[in-house]
Copies of this chain bind each other. A is one copy, B any other.
Amino acid sequence: MEYKQVILVRSDLKLPKGKMSAQAAHASVEATLRADSKKVASWRAQGQKKVVLKVDDEKALIKFFQEAKDNNLSASLITDAGKTIIAPGTKTCVGIGPDLEEEIDSITGELKMM
């Protein structure tokens, strides 16, 4: 059984790479800390598979976050403090999992890699 985590990033914000990396890391850590510890241990032992996917805008970001929660997957929605670059309160990323690959793909399987 393969575990993975996906990180959804808004492509419309056109975040610079350093900013995007920090926001993605935030989503990843927060989803991991909220996940079941046995799933985290399995995922870590398998090499922590992580895929960064793009979503079009805030509406899509929230839709996937809600779907993940509705399916009892660990999920984090990241709002930037906005001290730099983007406006305060901007929703930037969502982390989902770690969980079974097929569970995650059933929700985000059609998204493209960033």
How far, in angstroms, from A7 to B20 measured CA to CA in the complex?
A: 12
Given A28-B28, A29-B32, A32-B29, is A22 in contact with B50 using a C-beta cutoff of 8 Å?
A: yes
Asked if A51 is at the interface of the complex by the 8 Å CB criterion, the answer is yes
Copies in the complex: 2
Asked if A52 is at the interface of the complex by the 8 Å CB criterion, the answer is yes
How far, in angstroms, from A15 to B93 measured CA to CA in the complex?
A: 20
How far, in angstroms, from A16 to B32 measured CA to CA in the complex?
A: 24
Q: Which of B26, B44, B51 contacts A50 (CB 8 A)?
A: B26
**What secondary structure prevails in chain A residues at the interface with B?**
helix
Q: Which of B23, B26, B47, B52 contacts A18 (CB 8 A)?
A: B52
Contact with B along A66-81 (1 / 0, CB 8 A): 0000000000000001
B113 touches A18 (CB 8 A): yes
B26 touches A24 (CB 8 A): no
**Which residues on A are within 8 Å of B, measured CB to CB?**
7, 9, 15, 17-30, 32-33, 40, 44, 47-48, 50-52, 54, 81, 113-114
